[in-house]
Structure 1
């Protein structure tokens, strides 16, 4: 009996030690706000919406010894007002990956995940930081540069290095999954960042083969153009760049930085986005527009923003964003100017109130070959060249 008791106690101790070395965490955000838009195809809109994307997730880690850990993260996105799934109805549309992590060698993960460009540059942009990332209203020209992660990258393998004296880098490759064509629908992504006290810098490069298809969106492994494939990626339905769905490739270069001066933080972002080899894809189901026969459409975008911590509870912020679409195939160019203003009041470590406003103007000829109209991302386009919107609400994190 005594030996049995000793053995039981030993096994219990081993079990407790193993449990202490592993963890699984449930986390999430619940956000709800009142949205007002002055011009949605000529009409006013009043709706329940969300500034931060509501989500819940499960993440875990297991200590494998020698400084190596197994990790995973499964994250679901949903709409608070209706309970509907976001990201095209995917169960874990925000994240779904598993991998290995080492403080000495870095982290390797596989699955559906954010690009390393987004990991290392998005915090410099107002739209991905405080200006309603859930809506996407605060992004540059319908998030043409994907800084606000309108598109996750799936079927991907990703490596992020350890942080060495403030320097960090990462690479990602998404396998298109098309038999007989290794590069079709594939994504290549790389980024680097540097942090030193109040100074933070980052830059990234992304190349997407056949961006009309779904490896860069919410549905994987589409092999032929179809209406369902078009619907998999909401970006294809906006007027700012939806007319370029026939592009054979997309290239994104983004760079940014921030500098903290006491309670104030100044941020800068520049991006260059090219829709290349236009006309090489039969974009069935895409937004109506000109039949491009070649060439490249280029978007250059710049942003300057400022955050100011008035006191421990109150933050005020503002941003100006300019985007120029140089056009393609001899069609005219378009210009977009956007202003974001926001205030966040923290009630506790997990709960805050917010009020955010957005104003966009447009001029020139857009991707559809028509007079450019304002088109705040995730909203239907305006009936004219300007659009004004605002949202105020509450965010709770758990």
Structure 2
């Protein structure tokens, strides 16, 4: 549900960029439940079986999302975890614990976004260049220029522990709805790495200390 807190809708450049995709993974054999909305409150729970005989922890995943949604604003809190094949949190951007807090405010045609995310991998031995904690914050905005055209802006910052550096991402984009189910989208962005970080402008890993710029566009159709 992190996409609801991201002005880009969690496109290729967005909240996933500075955590190398940790907050939008896909896991096998998960059980997911989404509650009905009651008085603005809704909850979602998910559990993924690790498929390791004799263990309920090895390879397992899970999470909980709570939200309070009103016409002009929403608040969300989310927690999830992913264990490796040994039942450990051994990789900050793959097998770790994740806490996300954030919300949105809508003022006429303007929608503002803000979020905070903490990753931790206590099974790692953290050291310089090999962090076991990351803190990401972001701000964003959507502006409904017309019923079909939405302008998008976002700014994201991540700080790694163990003196392992930080990075920033800045994006601008637009969505144009051709119909209720089809839209065109285009975005530009830049990621600015510190001397020790290696984030790619679109989710992934680049060379250490290298900045990147990107433009992409596409078509989205819902069936």
Length-normalised TM-score, structure 1: 0.50
What is the DSSP-based 3-state SS (H/G/I as helix, E as strand, rest coil) of the residue aligned with 2:29?
A: strand
Structure 1 residue 376 corresponds to structure 2 residue 189: no
Structure 1 or 2: larger helix share?
1
Q: How many residues align?
A: 219
Question: Which residue is 1:174 aligned to?
Answer: 48
Pairwise CA RMSD:
2.8
Question: Which residue is 1:64 aligned to?
Answer: none
Tell me if structure 2 keeps the 8 A contact 1:145–1:252.
no
Question: Which residue is 1:254 aligned to?
Answer: 100
After the TM superposition, which segments of 4 or more aligned residues of structure 1 sit over 6 Å from their partners? 289-292
What is the DSSP-based 3-state SS (H/G/I as helix, E as strand, rest coil) of the residue aligned with 2:3?
A: helix
Gaps of 5+ in 2: none
Question: Which residue is 2:122 aligned to?
Answer: 276
Q: Deviations over 1:298-342 (max 9, x none)?
A: 110001000000111211110000101113xxxx32101000100
Length-normalised TM-score, structure 2: 0.85
Q: Note the C-alpha offset of 1:383.
A: 7.1
State how far apart, in whole Å, the 2-side matches of 1:302 and 1:310 are: 26
Tell me if structure 1 keeps the 8 A contact 2:103–2:114.
yes
Question: Which residue is 1:137 aligned to?
Answer: 13
State how far apart, in whole Å, the 2-side matches of 1:122 and 1:170 are: 14
Q: Note the C-alpha offset of 1:199.
A: 0.9
State how far apart, in whole Å, the 1-side matches of 2:5 and 2:74 are: 9
What is the DSSP-based 3-state SS (H/G/I as helix, E as strand, rest coil) of the residue aligned with 1:159?
A: strand
Instruction: Name the CA shift for 1:352/1:203 in 2 (closer, same or farther; >3 Å).
Output: same
State how far apart, in whole Å, the 2-side matches of 1:313 and 1:122 are: 20
Alignment counterpart, residue 320 of structure 1, candidates 140, 155, 179: 155
Q: Note the C-alpha offset of 1:350.
A: 3.3
Question: Which residue is 1:123 aligned to?
Answer: 4
State how far apart, in whole Å, the 1-side matches of 2:7 and 2:129 are: 35
Alignment counterpart, residue 163 of structure 1, candidates 37, 54, 69: 37
What is the DSSP-based 3-state SS (H/G/I as helix, E as strand, rest coil) of the residue aligned with 1:153?
A: coil
Tell me if structure 2 keeps the 8 A contact 1:204–1:255.
yes
Tell me if structure 2 keeps the 8 A contact 1:140–1:322.
no
Alignment counterpart, residue 175 of structure 2, candidates 340, 344, 350: 344
